[in-house]
Amino acid sequence: MQYMPSGEIPILEIRGLKAYYLVRGQLVKSVNDICLKVHKGETVGLFGESGSGKSSVALAILGIFETIARSHSSSSADKESKDLWALREDARSKGLTSEDIGQDLPGLEGEIVFDRRNLLTMDKEERRKIIGSDITYIPQGTSQSLNPTVGLWTQALDALRAQDYSVPEKEVRRRVLETLDLVDLEIDDLIDNPGSLSVGESQRMLTAMALIPNPSLVIADEPTTAVDSTVQRWILDALRIAKEEMGLSFLVISNNRAVVAETADKIAVMTGGHIVEYGDTSRVLNEPGHPFSEAFLMAFPTMEMIRRMKEKGQRLRGITGPPPNPVDLPSGCVFQTRCEHTSEICKEEVPEYREVESGYWVRCHRFEELRQT
C-alpha cells in the first residue's frame, strides 16, 4: 500500500481499516482495508451504494463499532463466534494482526489517527474526551417528538468543559444560542413547544448539537435522508456556513449525488467495503475513473456525463446485479462480478489502491487501459 506524504497534517487519517461484524459464526466484512485522509477545513464525502460500509466507517471512528459487533456475540452466541472473539483478544494482546496469524478476525483492525493520536489504541477515558466534543456526530433524525431542549444545556456544558474545564456557563449559553441561530431555530420556540418538533426541526436540532462544542471534525451520516427538500436545503446551508465560519472538517456520508456534490471538496467512492476511487469532487463526479463509480453515478447522470458518454460513443448504463455479499466477497476486485470490463486479472487479484495522478486514487487494474478508450 502506498501513502503519499502530504504537506499538511490531516485532522483524521484512516490507515488500513478493516471492520468485521461476526454474525452466527460468519464474518460480515463491512470495511476492507480502507485508507482516507481528512484535512483541516475540508469536507470529504463518503459516497456509495447501500451496504457498502459507509456507516461502519463512521461507527469505527466514533468508537462504537465493536460494541455493536459484539452485541451479536452475547450470551446466546454460538461457540464458534465466542472462540473467534477470544482469538481476536489473544492476538491483540500479543500485538498480532489477522495477517500475522493467517486468520480473518472480527472487530476493527488498522489505525484511525485523529489529531496525531490513534483512536483505536488510546484508552477509553481519553477517547471519551474526544468523541462528543472534538469529534461530533449528526445522526439521522427520525423521531418526530425529539425535543432535547433540557438536555441541550447539560450536553453543551459537558462537551465544552471536556475541552476547557473553566468555560463559564454564560459562554455556553452564548454558544448554544449562536449555533441554534445558524440552523435557523429559536430557543423560545423549542421551550414553548416541548415535544412537538417536526422531523425537519429535529434534524436541525441534531445538527446544532453536533456544532455547539466547536468540534474539529463532524461526521454527518445521511444528514438529509428523512427530510423534505426544504429542510435538506437548510441542513446543507447550515453545514456550509459552519464550514465557512468555523473552519470545521466534515465527513459527509451519503448515497445521494446531490448531497456530496454540494458539500464535499473530496469524494471517496465505496462499494463492498472498499474505497475504489478518491479525488476532487468535480473530478470524481464528472469524470469517474472506476467502472463502479461510473455505473453508480448513472443513477444520477448530469448533462456533463451524458456529453462525455456520447463523445466516447457509449451508452448510459447503470449497475447490473446486487451489491457484493460481505459474508462472501468475490475474489479479486470487489466489482468484478458486475463490471462490464472484467478481465482475468480482475477475477484473480485484488487491485492495489493507487495514486494514479496527484491527489487522485483508484483501485482498478485496468484504469490506464480504460482511460484510452
Ligand X SMILES: Nc1ncnc2c1ncn2[C@@H]1O[C@H](COP(=O)(O)OP(=O)(O)OP(=O)(O)O)[C@@H](O)[C@H]1O
Out of 10, 12, 14, 21, name the contact with ligand X by CB under 6 A: 21
User: How big is the chain, counted in residues?
Assistant: 373
39 versus 54: smaller Cβ distance to ligand X: 54
48 versus 215: smaller Cβ distance to ligand X: 48
Return the exposure string of 117-128: e unless at least 16 CB atoms fall within 10 Å of the residue's CB, then b: eebbebeeeebe
Cell of 370: 480504460
Out of 15, 23, 111, 236, name the contact with ligand X by CB under 6 A: 23
The residue whose Cβ lies closest to Mg ion is 55
Does 255 interact with ligand X (rule: CB under 6 A)?
yes
d(CA 65, CA 68): 5
Could you tell me which residues come within 8 angstroms of residue 186 by beta carbon, excluding any fewer than 6 positions away?
Answer: 180
Say if residues 306 and 316 touch (Cβ distance below 8 Å). Answer: yes
State in angstroms the smallest separation of the CB of 37 from ligand X.
Answer: 20
Contacting positions for Mg ion (CB under 5 A): 55
Cell of 344: 482475468
Does 326 interact with ligand X (rule: CB under 6 A)?
yes
Binder of residue 50, out of ligand X, Mg ion, none (CB less than 5 to 8 A by kind): ligand X
Q: State the binding string over 48-77 for ligand X (x if CB under 6 A, else -).
A: x-xxxxxxx-----------x---------
d(CA 370, CA 373): 5
Short-list 282, 245, 244, 247, CA closest to 266:
282
Short-list 328, 273, 260, CA closest to 35:
273
Stretch near ligand X under the rule CB under 6 A, chosen from 44-52, 74-82, 92-100, 130-138: 44-52
Does 246 interact with ligand X (rule: CB under 6 A)?
no
State in angstroms the smallest separation of the CB of 20 from ligand X.
Answer: 9
State in angstroms the smallest separation of the CB of 66 from Mg ion.
Answer: 17
Alpha-carbon distance values, 245 to 214, 238, 248 (Å): 11, 10, 8
**Coil, strand or helix at 297:** helix
User: Judged by CB under 6 A, how many residues of this single chain contact ligand X?
Assistant: 15
State in angstroms the smallest separation of the CB of 254 from Mg ion.
Answer: 9
Q: State the binding string over 272-311 for ligand X (x if CB under 6 A, else -).
A: ----------------------------------------
Does 145 interact with ligand X (rule: CB under 6 A)?
no
Does 30 interact with ligand X (rule: CB under 6 A)?
yes
53 versus 332: smaller Cβ distance to ligand X: 53
Could you tell me which residues come within 8 angstroms of residue 278 by beta carbon, excluding any fewer than 6 positions away?
Answer: 36, 266, 267, 268, 269, 284, 360, 361, 362
52 versus 281: smaller Cβ distance to ligand X: 52
d(CA 124, CA 113): 15
Say if residues 279 and 73 touch (Cβ distance below 8 Å). Answer: no
State in angstroms the smallest separation of the CB of 253 from Mg ion.
Answer: 6
Helix axes 149-163, 169-182, angle to 10 degrees: 120
Return the exposure string of 32-63: e unless at least 16 CB atoms fall within 10 Å of the residue's CB, then b: bbbbbbbbebbbbbbbbbebbbbbbbbbbbbb
DSSP assigned state of 5: -
Q: Which of residues 175-204 bind ligand X (CB under 6 A)?
A: none
Stretch near ligand X under the rule CB under 6 A, chosen from 20-28, 93-101, 159-167, 314-322: 20-28
Stretch near ligand X under the rule CB under 6 A, chosen from 43-51, 83-91, 130-138, 196-204: 43-51
57 versus 157: smaller Cβ distance to Mg ion: 57
50 versus 93: smaller Cβ distance to ligand X: 50
59 versus 113: smaller Cβ distance to ligand X: 59
Does 223 interact with ligand X (rule: CB under 6 A)?
no
State in angstroms the smallest separation of the CB of 143 from Mg ion.
Answer: 18
Name the residues that contact ligand X, by CB under 6 A. Answer: 21, 23, 28, 30, 48, 50-56, 68, 255, 326
